[in-house]
Structure 1
Amino acid sequence: MSLFAEFHVPSEDFALSSTLGRLPDLVVEIDRVAAADELLTPYFWISDVDLDEFEAAAGADPSIEDLRRLDDFESASLYRATWTENVDTMVYASTQAGATILEAKGQRGVWNIRIRFDDREPLESFQEYAHRFDITYDLVKLYETEHPRTGSQYGLTEKQHAALDTAWEMGYFEEPRETTLDEVADELDITRQSLSQRLRRGHHALVASTIRVTPLAAEKA
């Protein structure tokens, strides 16, 4: 039975604290976190800030190193970095517990984070680790699932589920497409940028909850 937890965490207990402090309008959204050779590599989107200013601030931020810009997508840019070894943060607490960070958004010194735990044991390990290193967090919501049949059970928020469902119903994912991003956004009464971000985060949540956790079926002869 999977458990989903939503937290509010001060930036000093997660990542990019000095960067978020220097750039109050900056929005950072974690896309995914890769782990290799005991190093954690976050991929994250940044928006609402000048890229040169961001890179200057992030380059001096002690929580990350090896910052690299990978891609640009409309009004957001994708970066990759390496988290420095800092055990007393939410990042390492979740890693040590074997949990998965599904969504993390940082702005104005606070991160909103959603984490999936396989069951209660890793959740308890996470809480023990956070207590041991005095990691500050507010648990906003905790809910559990048994059967992956609804959007939330795939790690989707209600808004991401609505965006994906509406886009599918309107033929956005058909080839050729039967509608445009602007038309789907109008249907949902949101901006094109908001829709694009919801679709991107929704795709990530689906992959994290299905492809990344489900073994590949054996091919039939």
Structure 2
Amino acid sequence: MTIRIDLFLRSLSLPLVSVVRSLQLDELEYVHRGRIEEGRQLFIVQIDETADVPQCALAEVDEVAEATALGQAGGKEIYKCIVDLDDLFQRMYDANLDGAPLEPPVVRPDGWYETKIFKNYSTLSEFQSVCRENNIEVELHSITSGHAGSEDSPAYGLTERQHEALTLALSRGYYESPRRTSTEALADELDISQPSMSDLLRRAEHQILSSTLGSQTRVEMPSS
């Protein structure tokens, strides 16, 4: 059984909060996170284009080791940011304590608002304990057991089996860089073959991209 949680993590020490505060933004979203190396994490972030944030301003924030503009889409400026992490967040990410985000987490001047999937209540409890130990206040806004989505169906038009496979892959670090698991290991957990697991993930990824981006979305890349 999975658990869907709407929560707010309140702490000025969370990654990217200093970016929002330094640039005097209302908020930003990050749509991807992946490990680069020990102590560093890659974030793909979206900032409302009306904020008019120059790339150099992002790079000047202390925790940001590198910032690169990727282009524009849907009224958002998209950047790749490499962020230095302290031991707390490295532990949270590497020990499978962090749930899988269902929607892009929103970073605000005082913390993160997220909708996440946890494997079970034990994992959620451990995540809360780590947060409390490090002075991160966890506000739980809603808790729903079972599959995420509207009514009884998973979100974005996924089948229940696709949703199950994708949630497992996210929670096990399949989409991190480098990957922390393989399709073979994921297939074993679902008691299916490796080709079936790969096909489930491929179809789920295609469905989410089709639902969120649509067939007519065009990303504008910066001119060289």
Task: Answer yes or no: same fold by TM over 0.5.
Answer: yes
Q: Deviations over 1:142-165 (max 9, x none)?
A: 2210xx484477774xxxx6xx7x
Q: CA deviation at 1:68?
A: 1.5
1:4 counterpart residue number: 4
One-letter code aligned to 1:111: W
One-letter code aligned to 2:42: T
Answer whether contact 2:63 2:83 (CA < 8 A) is retained: yes
Answer whether contact 1:28 1:107 (CA < 8 A) is retained: yes
Aligned-residue identity in percent: 12
Distance 1:24 1:149, change over 3 A: closer
Q: Does 1:17 align with 2:22?
A: no
Q: CA deviation at 1:118?
A: 1.0
2:52 counterpart residue number: 50
Task: Give the alignment of 1:1-221 within 5 angstroms.
Answer: 1-10=1-10, 12-38=12-38, 39-47=40-48, 48-52=50-54, 55-89=55-89, 93=92, 95-96=94-95, 97-102=97-102, 103-145=104-146, 148=147, 150-151=149-150, 156=155, 208-209=166-167, 215=187, 216-217=195-196
Distance 1:206 1:3, change over 3 A: closer
Answer whether contact 1:16 1:61 (CA < 8 A) is retained: no
Q: CA deviation at 1:45?
A: 1.0
Partner Cα separation in structure 1 for residue 91 and residue 198 of structure 2: 37
RMSD value over aligned CA atoms? 3.6
Answer whether contact 1:13 1:88 (CA < 8 A) is retained: no
**SS of residue matched to 1:24:** coil
Partner Cα separation in structure 2 for residue 208 and residue 18 of structure 1: 31
Distance 1:127 1:30, change over 3 A: same
Q: CA deviation at 1:49?
A: 0.8
Gaps in structure 2 of 5+ consecutive residues = 158-162, 172-185, 188-194, 200-224
One-letter code aligned to 1:34: G
Answer whether contact 1:155 1:206 (CA < 8 A) is retained: no
TM-score by length of 2: 0.60
Gaps in structure 1 of 5+ consecutive residues = 165-204
Distance 1:92 1:30, change over 3 A: farther
* Count of residues paired in the alignment: 170
**SS of residue matched to 1:67:** strand
Q: CA deviation at 1:81?
A: 1.7
Q: CA deviation at 1:36?
A: 4.5
Q: Deviations over 1:83-113 (max 9, x none)?
A: 2122345x85355315223331123444211
2:222 counterpart residue number: none
One-letter code aligned to 2:92: A
Answer whether contact 1:4 1:144 (CA < 8 A) is retained: yes
1:178 counterpart residue number: none
Q: Deviations over 1:116-150 (max 9, x none)?
A: 111122212212211222222322222210xx484
**SS of residue matched to 2:51:** coil
2:182 counterpart residue number: none
Answer whether contact 1:70 1:79 (CA < 8 A) is retained: yes
Distance 1:10 1:131, change over 3 A: closer
One-letter code aligned to 2:35: A
One-letter code aligned to 2:139: D
Q: Deviations over 1:5-57 (max 9, x none)?
A: 222233514222232123334431110212354442111211131131xx343
2:217 counterpart residue number: none
